[in-house]
Structure 1
Amino acid sequence: MNLEKPEHAGYFCGQSVIELAERLRAGSLTSVDLTRAALESIERLNPTLNAFVQVDPPIALAQARKADERFAQGVDLGPLQGIPVAVKDNIDTFDHVTTYGSAHFKGFKSNRDALCVQRVREAGAVIVGKTLTHEFAYGPTGDRSLQGAARNPWDARCITGGSSAGSAAAVASGMVPLALGTDTGGSIRIPAALCGVVGFKPSFACVPIEGVFPLSTSLDHVGPIANHIEDAQMLFEVMAGRVCAPVASPRLRRVGWITTGTFGPVDTEVERQVYQLAWQLFGDALEETSELALLAAGMKDTLLNLQRAEAFDVHAERMQNAPQLFEQEVRERLELSRDVRGWQYVRARTCQKQYKAALAHIFERYDFLVSPSVPVTATEVDAREVRLGEQIIDVRAALLSHTCAWNLAGLPALGLPAGQVRGMPVGLQVIGAAGEDDYLLQVMSRLNRRD
């Protein structure tokens, strides 16, 4: 489903990378043209949206000229050659400062790329710059970082969602057509939904996390943010180091719409809008399923214990030696994380295996499970409560409620734009069985095109 352009729109807004790649090869565009368009869009929009935390035009243009030289020499490294790409600021790059959104690493520069970035470079893409991350990727709002708050292209008073805040804003606004993000509890799919773009969390360990600053090593994923599913698949293939295996035409048996309330309250208008797209895509294969109702609370508690224990392990020395350098909310979350006991962590690892087995059993009956990506539209920056009907709930809990279970299980999950509610984007989340990334991407690409 295509959205209208946001209030703050740049050159790449809604553009297809596949079409841009065709024009590069036809000679009607150059990589330098595209990179200048990206830099001009960033210069115009970033003062408002704060999506990029570092851009180096000479470095970007040098990469673009190299891509054009390769085209002129008949060297074609693949469909990303010459395409501008942004990288989240918790992913190492050798030629840009990587702060992880924290004062602890102000001015830090890694001596090498993360493996996923290395693969993107080897495919000939142009790394334009680094995008804002919630500090250490430990937050779903995207408004707590060394560099401040990212702003939503549809309404700059509102959050983007996080923690891949800048990456989603950069793509949604058209500063770049592709961006790398990370996802530990929803950090790709949440901002993709709130900004109106495609976000894909692959199966666990499908894309290597080497060179990505850890939040929770048993839950961390790396994936693409894009305008279109086909573009997300293209970037995913490069980061994963393989091409998706072709699948036959989709013949869906059953698609389970997760019963409202299973993972928490949902804005009725958001549910109506998202369900409408689900019905358009899946038709009679769509049916309500309540099978997750008995699992939801336990999955949330299990993920929370895993994430807290592993996050505190990463930051224990910083919490001991320089706690004042953390942003206040992130420090408070880490203080809570300190309280997870050893037996709780061990039990959580055992429960994680049990939930994976339970979900595998459910996927014997369903091709996909679907739900809203996020049960609310974007709230204002700094808001920490939101009203849903008669309830007032925590913004962060609401943002994470429908996404985090699939990190616990390591399942592939795709977020798609599903239109707007009260002028702000909402998203449909489609979850596949473990390891079925190729099937999920290709089937949804075909169905979405047909729609």
Structure 2
Amino acid sequence: MTALHDLSAPDLVAAYRSRQLSPVEVMQSVLDHAERWEPHLQATYLLRPDAALAQARASEARWQQGAPLGPVDGVPVTIKDNIATQGDPTPLGTAAVALTPAAADAPPAARMREAGALLWAKTTMPDYGMLSSGLSTFHPLSRNPWDLRKGPGGSSAGGGAAAAAGYGPFHVGTDIGGSLRLPASWCGIFSLKPSLGRIPIDPPYTGRAAGPMTRTVQDAALMMQVLSQPDARDTMSLPPQDIAWHAFDRGTEWLRGVRIGLLLDAGCGLPVDAEVRDAVENAARLFEQAGAVVEPMQPFLTRTMLDGMDHYWRMRSHVDLQALPPAQRDKVLPYIRTWADSAANMSGTEVFQASHQFYLTRIATVRACSAFDYVISPVAPITAFQAEWPSPTNDPLRPLEHIAFTVPFNMSEQPAASVPCGFSRAGLPIGLQIAGPRFDDLGVLQMSRAFEHLRGPMRAWPEPPSAAAAQ
């Protein structure tokens, strides 16, 4: 029998509607399960059982009255640290930020709360979200449930670990260069980085997106129904659109004739591990066997593009850090300070040239993808790396070598998902990236769901070490 904390969101909602389950029972199961995992994972921030159960009792009363607030009433959800929740501090993963209570929920938190979801914990992230790891000067070090020696990825570190560990069905993260998809790949879960503006966010800026982190496409589609509702605070948001998120599952017959580009060389960055390449090539064969037309793609991201984006982000972070009082600046992770301060002597011309690479990346990505309906690739060139390292290279002057497959789709504003496609010999998950044309978020979900059909069942989810030892 499936444990309550492992049930999908649609199953939970159906059970609430039929009075077979109560949100209180489910929330207690999630809390109990998280209590077993948290000493090992350290995935949560502001985990407050009493407040969670109070929300659950309110949801239970609404279901008893036949008056749920929305399609996810009573479903547990975690929210990433950097997405503001009213009355709570937003530390951004760093000890350098003052712990000032937020005046209001940010749009993703507001949408989930308005729809009745149970916001029971925030999740961890690294300093300012500028690492693909769970290393933080504010939060304890987060780890990967598949192998506690490894990190969950980042910057949506806690969300990835929490989803894989079974902390309920819903988790909300953010992504500016791969921060949803990288932890999804390394934790063996699903995530969608939507088209820019599809999910309102505050503050909005180029490349930044919020998105679902779930175990299945089905749960992510239900989250999109809620998260994509409009919010005027996002000045870059897309016009409200009635998207048939419930139509995420078209089976596999429709894949016949779909043109898929296969990108196995990002053009720069770390080389692709043989096991990662094999898993993605196997995914391509499954699509071909279903009738899709898969063609190899040439790399389109250049070293100049990746370095330019890196150097611009260094300067932005350098300016931000210089604005802090020295005592606060000294609290920032040394790796981040070294990375940011390396831009101190950049000229205005160099900063402009660096910023121009965002535009050139956008143009190159859209042009390369235009010949295909969808593009598949590795999410990351490697599997999860050791938890204590801030990045796979452990080098602040080579910090972005692992994001060459993911960052182009932030700059082109295209939707891109990570869906599990295999495991390494060491038992570490490998993610397949599926990217689609701008605005085709539903199509990317449909492609991802089709791949779930083709791939078949995953391995059993990891269990807390104490529970595993008892079996």
Same fold by TM-score, threshold 0.5 exceeded? yes
Deviation at 1:379, TM superposition (A): 1.7
1:299–1:408 CA contact under 8 A, matched in 2: no
1:383-429 deviation per Cα after TM superposition (whole angstroms, max 9, x unaligned): 47869xxxx99995443232122222222110011121021111101
What CA distance in whole angstroms lies between the structure 2 residues aligned with 1:100 and 1:438?
30
Deviation at 1:311, TM superposition (A): 3.2
What letter is aligned with 1:278?
A
Partner of 1:234: 222
Partner of 1:244: 243
SS at match of 2:375: strand
Partner of 1:368: 374
2:73 to 81, 91, 109: 81
Partner of 2:122: 130
> Mind listing any 5+ residue stretches in structure 2 that lack a counterpart?
230-240, 456-471
The question of 1:12 aligning with 2:15 is answered no
Partner of 1:285: 292
What CA distance in whole angstroms lies between the structure 2 residues aligned with 1:393 and 1:316?
18
2:111 to 119, 124, 133: 119
Q: 1:386 to 1:358 in 2, by over 3 A?
A: closer
What are the equivalent positions in structure 2 for 1:300-339 lying under 5 Å apart? Answer: 300-318=306-324, 322-339=328-345
What CA distance in whole angstroms lies between the structure 2 residues aligned with 1:309 and 1:410?
23
Q: 1:312 to 1:251 in 2, by over 3 A?
A: farther
The question of 1:427 aligning with 2:415 is answered no
What letter is aligned with 1:125?
A
Partner of 1:6: none
2:362 to 348, 356, 373: 356
Partner of 1:67: 59
SS at match of 1:400: coil
1:140 to 132, 148, 157: 132
What letter is aligned with 2:311?
N
Partner of 1:203: 195
Partner of 1:4: none
Deviation at 1:66, TM superposition (A): 1.5
Partner of 1:223: 211
1:313-365 deviation per Cα after TM superposition (whole angstroms, max 9, x unaligned): 44431165632121211222221244444334434454433433333333331
Deviation at 1:112, TM superposition (A): 1.0
> What is the TM-score of this pair, normalised by structure 2?
0.84
What CA distance in whole angstroms lies between the structure 1 residues aligned with 2:363 and 2:207?
16
1:414–1:430 CA contact under 8 A, matched in 2: yes
What CA distance in whole angstroms lies between the structure 2 residues aligned with 1:345 and 1:75?
55
What CA distance in whole angstroms lies between the structure 1 residues aligned with 2:419 and 2:396?
25
What letter is aligned with 2:243?
C
Identical counterparts, % of pairs: 30
1:11–1:41 CA contact under 8 A, matched in 2: no
Deviation at 1:250, TM superposition (A): 4.5
Partner of 1:159: 151
What CA distance in whole angstroms lies between the structure 1 residues aligned with 2:340 and 2:392?
24
What CA distance in whole angstroms lies between the structure 2 residues aligned with 1:445 and 1:43?
31
Q: 1:107 to 1:205 in 2, by over 3 A?
A: same
What CA distance in whole angstroms lies between the structure 2 residues aligned with 1:426 and 1:438?
23
Partner of 1:411: 414
What letter is aligned with 2:18?
A
Partner of 2:259: 254
Q: 1:86 to 1:156 in 2, by over 3 A?
A: same
The question of 1:58 aligning with 2:50 is answered yes
Partner of 1:21: 13
What letter is aligned with 2:49?
P
1:152-211 deviation per Cα after TM superposition (whole angstroms, max 9, x unaligned): 00111111111100011011000221111011111111111111101111112222221x
Q: 1:234 to 1:282 in 2, by over 3 A?
A: farther
1:34 to 26, 32, 39: 26
CA RMSD of aligned residues (A): 2.7
What CA distance in whole angstroms lies between the structure 1 residues aligned with 2:132 and 2:193?
15
Q: 1:24 to 1:394 in 2, by over 3 A?
A: farther
SS at match of 1:309: helix
What letter is aligned with 2:336?
V
Partner of 1:272: 278
Partner of 1:173: 165
What letter is aligned with 2:14?
E
What CA distance in whole angstroms lies between the structure 2 residues aligned with 1:430 and 1:220?
18
Partner of 2:460: none
